[in-house]
Structure 1
Amino acid sequence: MVKVAICEDDNIFMERLRLKVNSFFRDNQNKVDIDEYNNGEEIVREAKRNGIGYDVIFFDIDMPRLNGIKAARVIREIDNNFILIFLTSLDEEVYKVFELNTFRFIRKSYFDEEIYAVLEDILKRLQENSTRYEFKTKEGTIKLAISEILYFNMVNRRVNIRTLTDTYITTITVFKEIEKVVSSKGFVSIYRGMMVNINFVKRIDKETIELDNGEVLQVSRYKISEVKKAFFTS
């Protein structure tokens, strides 16, 4: 079951989006459950009361009282795992949303042209997130989804795996083995022997990145352009 929320104050556009989302997932043999919110205050109140149970949230940026960006910022503090899509009639607003681990945005004026590509990318990400990979460690074999891993790095000739809650020391001694698996799954090299999940990058400065867990990591000057490109297109 794919759980989706739509936060949109225009009921006509809400219905239009709901029908597209429902049709797409059902056509791809996925059950979907869609909740609708007419303003940012409603979904924030629900998130604070019951947590986030959504795989995907569509936010209209331009809403009265609590707009989509402000509401998403509050909800991101509760949960960073859902896929965040912004809807906007103001193209220039899209540049304000990258810090929120935004997956994609849809311009309302190009809705029909952009919606299916976005939905296909969402489905691909959900499938990747549900796939668990096996890693051998000193304590035994572990299974992790890509969405759980912040980064891989080489320490004392062993590949370490950092998640939000743990660090695992694997038996892998050749970093290229990791690169072959994750380089096409949202990970980017920040220097030799370290690859970061771009979906956990909160902010990029001139020579560093900040992750959602507060860690600040140095980026090689030879890699910074590649990291920025991945961040702004992820």
Structure 2
Amino acid sequence: MKVFSIAMCDDSSRALTAFSVALENVFEKCGARALIDTFSSPAALERSMSEKHYDAVFLDIEMPAADGITLGKNLRTAKDTTRIIYLSGREDRVFDAFVAHPFGFIRKNSFANDSVDAVRSLLASCSVKTVEIGTYTNDVVEVDPSAVVYVENVKDRQLFHFAENARTLTVKSTLGRLEDLLSPYGFIRVHQGYIVNHDYISRLDNTSVTLTNGEIVPVSRRKLGEVRKKFMSLIDKGGE
């Protein structure tokens, strides 16, 4: 059974208790398990997210101090790609929440039905594409390629750079092997020391690639034509 790390934030302690218990049951019915941390304020959740990864956060839209939409905007500004699912009794504010690029919405008065759809979609999205990679501590970890911005060769090690919270992972492999492993997922070898996920490329120049997080990665002059061709091909195919 797959285990999901979930955060839920609502200023009402009664709602937190009721919805978190109900959500655990929905995950179980869908064949998964949810470990849910609950928070009564966006500030408390934000502090926790600076130290811990969540597969998804369920946010109340209407809260007195700072609402869920503001927190969602803050996360996206910080390049945090955690899936956000909004809880609301105010359907008129759904369109306001689009600025945070939410994964889904649950109406509080239709929680039983909406939560099932949201959890099923979440399970489907999280079951997509993982690869097993050996680390320098001889562990084997599962990595979601869509969460990786680029891989960098550092001496005899390969360093994965993730979109979320600037997280990194050092692995035991060669860049060539990782290129073979990640190429089917839209990764491009742009330089002797770099493999880049095309989804995070915002600009491709003659000597460098600018990524969506603002970082700049060098492009090998001899690879430039090949990089451009593959990049355009991936865009045309939608990354498939």
TM bin, normalised by shorter chain, reads 0.5 to 0.7
Distance 1:129 1:42, change over 3 A: farther
Q: TM-score, normalised by structure 1?
A: 0.58
Between the aligned partners of 2:182 and 2:38, the Cα distance in structure 1 is 34
Distance 1:71 1:173, change over 3 A: closer
CA contact (8 A) 2:106 2:114 kept: yes
* Moved segments of 4+, more than 4 Å: 162-168, 170-174
Show structure 1 runs of 5+ residues with no match. Answer: 134-138, 183-234
Between the aligned partners of 1:46 and 1:62, the Cα distance in structure 2 is 20
- Tell me the equivalent position of 1:61: 61
Between the aligned partners of 1:17 and 1:51, the Cα distance in structure 2 is 24
Between the aligned partners of 1:78 and 1:173, the Cα distance in structure 2 is 26
Whether 1:37 aligns to 2:50 is: no
SS at match of 1:80: coil
Distance 1:28 1:170, change over 3 A: farther
| Post-superposition offset of 1:108 | 1.0
SS at match of 1:85: strand
CA contact (8 A) 2:85 2:105 kept: yes
What does 1:1-234 align with in structure 2 at a 5 Å threshold?
A: 1-47=3-49, 50-128=50-128, 130=130, 132=145, 140=176, 141=179, 142-143=181-182, 149-150=198-199, 169=227, 172=230, 175=233, 179=237, 182=240
| Post-superposition offset of 1:119 | 0.7
Between the aligned partners of 2:89 and 2:61, the Cα distance in structure 1 is 8
Between the aligned partners of 2:56 and 2:236, the Cα distance in structure 1 is 28
SS at match of 2:199: strand
Between the aligned partners of 1:167 and 1:115, the Cα distance in structure 2 is 44
SS at match of 1:62: coil
Question: Larger C-alpha radius of gyration, 1 or 2?
Answer: 2
Counterpart code for 1:125 = S
- What per-residue deviation string (whole Å, max 9, x for no partner) do you get for residues 178-215 of structure 1? 72863xxxxxxxxxxxxxxxxxxxxxxxxxxxxxxxxx
| Post-superposition offset of 1:75 | 2.8
Between the aligned partners of 2:53 and 2:34, the Cα distance in structure 1 is 13
Between the aligned partners of 1:104 and 1:54, the Cα distance in structure 2 is 16
Q: TM-score, normalised by structure 2?
A: 0.57
Between the aligned partners of 1:41 and 1:180, the Cα distance in structure 2 is 37
Task: Report % sequence identity.
Answer: 18
CA contact (8 A) 2:30 2:120 kept: no
Between the aligned partners of 1:29 and 1:167, the Cα distance in structure 2 is 44
Between the aligned partners of 1:71 and 1:173, the Cα distance in structure 2 is 33
Between the aligned partners of 2:44 and 2:126, the Cα distance in structure 1 is 25
Counterpart code for 1:126 = C
Between the aligned partners of 1:83 and 1:129, the Cα distance in structure 2 is 16
SS at match of 1:9: coil
Counterpart code for 1:4 = I
Counterpart code for 2:199 = L
- What per-residue deviation string (whole Å, max 9, x for no partner) do you get for residues 6-57 of structure 1? 001222322232123222333444343210001112112333xx34511100
SS at match of 1:97: helix
Between the aligned partners of 1:69 and 1:110, the Cα distance in structure 2 is 20
| Post-superposition offset of 1:173 | 9.2
Counterpart code for 1:76 = R
CA contact (8 A) 1:6 1:14 kept: yes
